[in-house]
Structure 1
């Protein structure tokens, strides 16, 4: 038997093979690192672009808000003391290209807004029932429940098929939250006024300030400190309310910083039936139908229209009804390429000077 021996591979050839494999590994690793760096750089560039587009959309939204405030002030100058649905402020703006607006005023850079769309509307906040009215300040420094307003809210709940007993629970929750607010004694005549003689600290109104909130402060306060109501969704903190109830209440209820009368020129039939004792929903609907032909110039016109709608005995506080509005909700939406800004802003208009100021602004997520 003849045995053949394969000649051993030369050492230089083996080294060349190992070098090729090492080179391939280095190239692959370098490609992975470079692609990762490029990907991170692309993500960073995209993030910066999104931030730029969002900032531009926010500036457009601010400009649209200033334009809306100008409309409210102009409307107040031309129709002093009266706010009705037929005003310019009541016309919503459909989704419109920004360049169309800029072109109408002769802006030379109008085409730069070709990829930007705006839409929005103005809502009379005093057309709804203001939950802040449930608590009044009959005596300076004291928060008391307003029985008449609680009854009005109870009637509104019953009209919407909700348990009317929740009205008093809502008033108690509202008062408990206001006791911790630094603006709890504001009035509609002076929304920015705070009584300096009233203690501001603690859940019970005491002056127990602390450098360790939640530790020392909790020992002297009530065990549960309810939050102040800032919107309709705050009703979920009141035992008995459900999200379905909140959805039914949302078109008819609001929470404003101060107590306000209901604007009878803009209030829906459900709110009218709730704030006027002895008025049913059918009479309120007849009242609203009559209002569509001619708006009211003063509370006297409102009283005559209520009698014409079937209300024989008018027993209500005339200070709770009005034909003018100071609080408006501005709903605006801006679409700027990939960025979108959907914002709701509460604006206060002074009844005498007609100047406006922003109370708060909230972005819709």
Structure 2
């Protein structure tokens, strides 16, 4: 009887062990299959997004107009395109980053605050009902020195934060870097984000043909006698778009009215664009963001990021 009991227990243990091994193998096989499916979907999405990027580059290369306006081919909204019926959908749009204020221009080639750029940015903040002190804070993120501006902050401020770190002291590479500034909330970021860009410091002009009303009014900070001018920011997006249906509005010379500083900071053509591409495969969506530079007849993607801003 004792031998039968031992044999029965041994059989049960072997059966249990076999069940555990089988379940583990089944789980591992299923996990491997899911990973393979996800990797394939990611690769497929990337290939489709890069195809959209190549098309955008070609459209920008073919655009030889004297001005870049919302009426150009590259600026037209494209409806979602079904790549594979019922399962793969592509959406994309091109944004003119030259129509925004480039934060990296706050510091000039000498490593000092650029007076005119600071004036425009402070006015931009004011029009957005944000504290003007953020201009000094952003400038201190970029400049190479460790001496804080009057309303800025350097290593001493950032080392005292819950997650201590030093001030970057280099040009910004992403707008999200603004969120490291103590007290700069997500709501503030959401207000500012549509009106600013992060580009090489050499991109110092704003395309008035595509700039928003707030950016256009901020440029008047350089006007010698009308620095608090408010006109374009009073227009709704629809009203501004309607005035731009025919040609560039406002024209650069009309906006500047002979003010040399305004003329130096404005243009009617763009060299920097952002392509936003979304590929939906089944229930999953993949995003690719491409920074595209146009330099004469040469157009190329400079940087890419997937899945986030």
Q: TM over 0.5: same fold?
A: yes
Give distance in 2, aligned partners of 1:35 and 1:274. Answer: 65
Structure 2 spans left out of the alignment, 5+ residues: 147-164
| Equivalent residue in structure 1 for 2:76, among 64, 70, 91 | 91
Residues 76-102 of structure 1, C-alpha deviations (whole Å, 9 max, x = no match): 23x2x3100011111222332114xxx
Classify 1:255/1:336 alpha carbon distance in 2 versus 1 (closer, same or farther; 3 Å). same
Kept in 1, the 8 Å contact 2:48–2:279? The answer is yes
Kept in 1, the 8 Å contact 2:45–2:279? The answer is yes
The match for 1:18 is: 6
Residues 110-152 of structure 1, C-alpha deviations (whole Å, 9 max, x = no match): xxx6521110111000111111221222xxxx22321111111
| Equivalent residue in structure 2 for 1:324, among 246, 266, 269 | 269
The match for 1:346 is: 291
Q: 118-127 or 38-47, which moves further after superposition?
A: 38-47
Classify 1:289/1:86 alpha carbon distance in 2 versus 1 (closer, same or farther; 3 Å). closer
The match for 2:132 is: 164
Q: Give the drift of 1:339.
A: 4.6
Kept in 1, the 8 Å contact 2:95–2:274? The answer is yes
Given the alignment of the two structures, is residue 152 of structure 1 paired with residue 120 of structure 2, yes or no?
yes
Structure 1 spans left out of the alignment, 5+ residues: 1-12, 100-112, 179-222
Q: Give the drift of 1:243.
A: 2.5
Where in structure 2 are the equivalents of 1:51-70 lying within 5 Å?
Answer: 51-70=39-58
| Equivalent residue in structure 2 for 1:270, among 207, 210, 214 | 214
The match for 1:296 is: 248
> What is the number of equivalent residue pairs in this alignment?
280
Q: 288-297 or 26-35, which moves further after superposition?
A: 288-297
Classify 1:114/1:284 alpha carbon distance in 2 versus 1 (closer, same or farther; 3 Å). closer
| Equivalent residue in structure 2 for 1:280, among 225, 229, 234 | 229
Kept in 2, the 8 Å contact 1:73–1:356? The answer is yes
Kept in 2, the 8 Å contact 1:54–1:340? The answer is no
The SS at the match of 2:80 is strand
Classify 1:151/1:36 alpha carbon distance in 2 versus 1 (closer, same or farther; 3 Å). same
Q: Give the drift of 1:37.
A: 1.4
The SS at the match of 1:316 is helix
Give distance in 2, aligned partners of 1:119 and 1:313. Answer: 42
The SS at the match of 1:93 is coil
Kept in 1, the 8 Å contact 2:69–2:247? The answer is yes
Kept in 2, the 8 Å contact 1:344–1:361? The answer is yes
Kept in 2, the 8 Å contact 1:53–1:337? The answer is no
Given the alignment of the two structures, is residue 118 of structure 1 paired with residue 90 of structure 2, yes or no?
yes
The match for 1:204 is: none
Give distance in 1, aligned partners of 2:176 and 2:72. Answer: 30
The match for 2:185 is: 242
Higher alpha-carbon Rg: 1
Q: Give the drift of 1:28.
A: 2.4
RMSD (CA atoms): 2.7
Give distance in 2, aligned partners of 1:40 and 1:240. Answer: 46
